[in-house]
Structure 1
Amino acid sequence: MVPLEDTPTRARIADSTLPPMKAFATPQPQAPSRSNANIAADFLALHFQLESGRKLQTFTRFETPITVRVTGKPPASLAPDLRRLLLRLRREAGIDIHEIDQGPANITIETVSRAEIRRTLPQAACFVVPNVSSFDEFRRDRRKPKTSWSALHERTRMGIFVPYDSTPQELRDCLHEELAQALGPLNDLYRLPDSVFNDDNVHTVLTGFDMLILRATYAQGLHSGMTEGQVAARLPAILSRLNPAGDRVAPRPVSLTPRAWIDAVQTALGPDVPLPARRGAAATATRIAQEQGWADQRLAFSYYLQGRILQLTDPDQAQTQFRAAEAVLNRSPDTQLHKALIITQTAAYAIARGQPQQALAQIDPMLPLARQSENAALLATLMMLKAEALDEAGDHRQAETLRLDSLGWARYGFGSDWAVRSKMREIAALNPGKANQG
């Protein structure tokens, strides 16, 4: 690995303050392209089942205008990101929701440390709980019926707990998913290609599909206390009104995700799971996906997991898995953001093998997708990779300009200066010419 200070274009950056953090401008959500019949099935699965698989008997939502308050020690990035999110919820989902500075709120967002969250829920980055307004209240009452989603009949008070010591992007992502779940869906579905309600974490801000689900949640004709059958009876008319284009799309068969595949994926992703067990779990997930006959992002995600686990010990075989994932994703326009994540791996491999033109051809189509999805970490990574490929191809001036431009996004996506510089060193080390200089 080439030390940061050994590269002239980086030495100036290392010795000075990094450029200011960048922020995304106008949201660009895409309307869902699926049939309203499929969206109705998704709506019911999102609202009437928990992530554990447990069924819910009652539809719940807020029945009054919603107030939101932030407590704790929020970092500077939280306020503008929250304001932007609340504006989107009002405009795109039609929800009457506003922030207040003091007094009791329907939804309280408390910032706590990542360590406190891990001690409470080891697998969670952030979470939402009904009928509490503080972390202390949650810890005191977490095993009481009041905090049980299955005992809920109407939403009146919610507590959201997010880490103040995470990156700006991670904090924003938590705001989007947890506030959306406080308002509506409680489940995550791996079958959804275009939603934050999916534990593959590909989409990090609320999508057009998500906003449609929330708009339907607060539509006239639905109210707290309804059964699944009652909601199902009213959904077709609601979706026809909110999403008329969906009535012109033919429905597709709904392919449920078996618990065995979900368990295998969670094991493969587990940070504390030994490598052989993670490798075996990823292979199991791929086998189950193939047996299910899937040709969607779930099969691609299985290949992707195998590739990520293999890349340190067998990079060539890892690339085989990444290429298999890419081939699956090429079949659907709804999964191009998933493909962008694969490209960060295949383009890095091309750079390491001295194939800059191949890397550039892969990276360029992915940059607009990363911007549109508001994924600063992905955008910065792609820009840094492109800069390295340009350096390798001999275009040093454009490489330096692009690399400097990536740093504002990197500060939002990766947080601290040391994390940004670490990412730069990691990507610089791919370039065999620079490695030989060291």
Structure 2
Amino acid sequence: MPPTARTDIDRLAARLRAEARIPLRVAEGPPPAAGNAIVVEFLPRAQMQALVPEAACFVVPRIGSWDEYRAARRSARLDWATLTVRQRAAVFIPSDTSPQEIRDCLHEEVAQALGPLNDIYRLPDSVFNDDNFHAILTGFDMLVLRLYYAPELANGMTRAEVAARLPALLARVNPGGGSAAQSAPADPTPRAWIDAVERALGPRASEAARRDAARRAVAIAQASGWSDGRAGFSWFALGRLSLSGDLGTAFTAFLRAALIYRARPGMEIQAAHVDMQLAAFALSAGQAEDTLTFVDRSLPVVAQAENAALLATLMLLRAEALELLGRSSEARAVRLDAMGWARYGFGPEPEVRRRVAEIAALSPRARVAAAAQ
């Protein structure tokens, strides 16, 4: 087990007990031969991806080990749709990755073992969304899991039966929810948009094909009249994919994403991801004060979301901006504070140094130093 994993497992279990009211406990060693269990197994990434190349981590039902998975992986035994009762599941996580990725995998895969399986792109405040903006289970996610295990619901109930009980159940477990202004439900997400996003973010297509897919996602979002997180994510994906070859398109796309995310409540972490990109543009242009504006408004949101990698990146951008302003002692202090978050978020020391160097290279100071050599 990786060094930080047990602490993160214990923290997750404590949250599930306190917030979702699920009476689980953590035990080490082989799983019991019978009874309910979620087995978490850590494996080298190469060993995992030899069988499941596109998965960073994953969960499967009815088994309790990697060997069982290998034996059953082409059988109906692993088909979630055939389950009537969940009794056993196995979560597989790479052991040779950053502590944050291990923790994030624990949150998402254990939550899927317990509750919803399918990700929904229109959810703004949830790990059950393939946009990957949320690193850990949110309050909304805990509410959903608490509903799953409420005594009013049981295996075998029909959709209509569950729907009939939900209003009273929600009034009991989330009495404050009914007082909020109710917005109209989002339009269903068309398969064409999902396909475009998956191609844009997937590893199999060329860079040009991925950018074209991101443009299709933007076009579908615009044609659908969306102004929600799906529209913001379309622009964000296009911005990310344009960074290597078309900075003008990337900058425009990030601005469009920022306008969408900042116009709607509940999308603060999404806006913070965009602010990081805009801060990098500002730093590269030598606009130190603008860099600090983007960073400083996002730091509290990112700290609350416990995203160490993003937090370290913002802090390192802040340090470079302070250097540009001649505030070197402050910059050194910020850079030192960022290192602890960077080691948790990025992993091994060589990777931390690489990320630090990438951010430092954005600054005009680096370009001046390089020209002088």
Which residue of 2 is the match for residue 243 of structure 1? 174
2:353 matches 1:403: no
**Mapping for residues 24-43 of structure 1, pairs under 5 Å:** none
2:132 matches 1:168: no
State the 1:102 CA deviation.
3.2
Q: List structure 1 runs of 4+ shifted beyond 3 angstroms.
A: none
Which residue of 2 is the match for residue 374 of structure 1? 306
Residue 120 of structure 2 aligns to which amino acid in structure 1? Answer: L
Residue 59 of structure 2 aligns to which amino acid in structure 1? Answer: V
Which residue of 2 is the match for residue 213 of structure 1? 144
Which residue of 2 is the match for residue 97 of structure 1? 24
2:115 matches 1:184: yes
2:292 matches 1:360: yes
In 2: Cα distance, 1:104 partner to 1:399 partner: 49
State the 1:384 CA deviation.
0.2
In 2: Cα distance, 1:75 partner to 1:119 partner: 21
Task: Give 3-state SS (helix, strand or coil) of 2:267's partner.
Answer: helix
In 2: Cα distance, 1:350 partner to 1:137 partner: 51
Residue 360 of structure 1 aligns to which amino acid in structure 2? Answer: L
Q: Could you tell me which of 79, 86, 90 is aligned with 2:13?
A: 86
| 1:102-136 alpha-carbon deviations (Å, 9 max, x no partner) | 34241111111211221222221111111100011
Task: Give 3-state SS (helix, strand or coil) of 2:221's partner.
Answer: helix
In 1: Cα distance, 2:279 partner to 2:31 partner: 50
Q: Could you tell me which of 66, 69, 88 is aligned with 1:135?
A: 66
Tell whether the 8 Å contact from 2:322 to 2:328 is kept in structure 1 after alignment.
yes
Count of matched residue positions in the alignment of Structure 1 and Structure 2: 365
In 1: Cα distance, 2:300 partner to 2:127 partner: 19
| 1:52-77 alpha-carbon deviations (Å, 9 max, x no partner) | xxxxxxxxxxxxxxxxxxxxxx1111
Q: Could you tell me which of 50, 54, 63 is aligned with 1:123?
A: 54
Which residue of 2 is the match for residue 75 of structure 1? 2
2:332 matches 1:332: no
* TM-score, normalisation: structure 2: 0.96
**Mapping for residues 213-292 of structure 1, pairs under 5 Å:** 213-249=144-180, 250-292=182-224
Residue 175 of structure 1 aligns to which amino acid in structure 2? Answer: L
Tell whether the 8 Å contact from 2:8 to 2:103 is kept in structure 1 after alignment.
yes
2:242 matches 1:315: no
In 2: Cα distance, 1:282 partner to 1:146 partner: 36
State the 1:83 CA deviation.
0.2
Once the two structures are aligned, what percentage of the paired residues are identical?
49
- Structure 2 residues not aligned, in runs of 5+: none
Return the structure number with greater relative CO, CA threshold 8 A, min gap 6: 1
| 1:243-279 alpha-carbon deviations (Å, 9 max, x no partner) | 1122123242232111111110111112231121111
2:128 matches 1:197: yes
| 1:159-211 alpha-carbon deviations (Å, 9 max, x no partner) | 11111111100000000001011111111000000000000000010000000
Residue 321 of structure 2 aligns to which amino acid in structure 1? Answer: A
Q: 1:143 to 1:317 in 2, by over 3 A?
A: closer
Tell whether the 8 Å contact from 2:54 to 2:203 is kept in structure 1 after alignment.
no
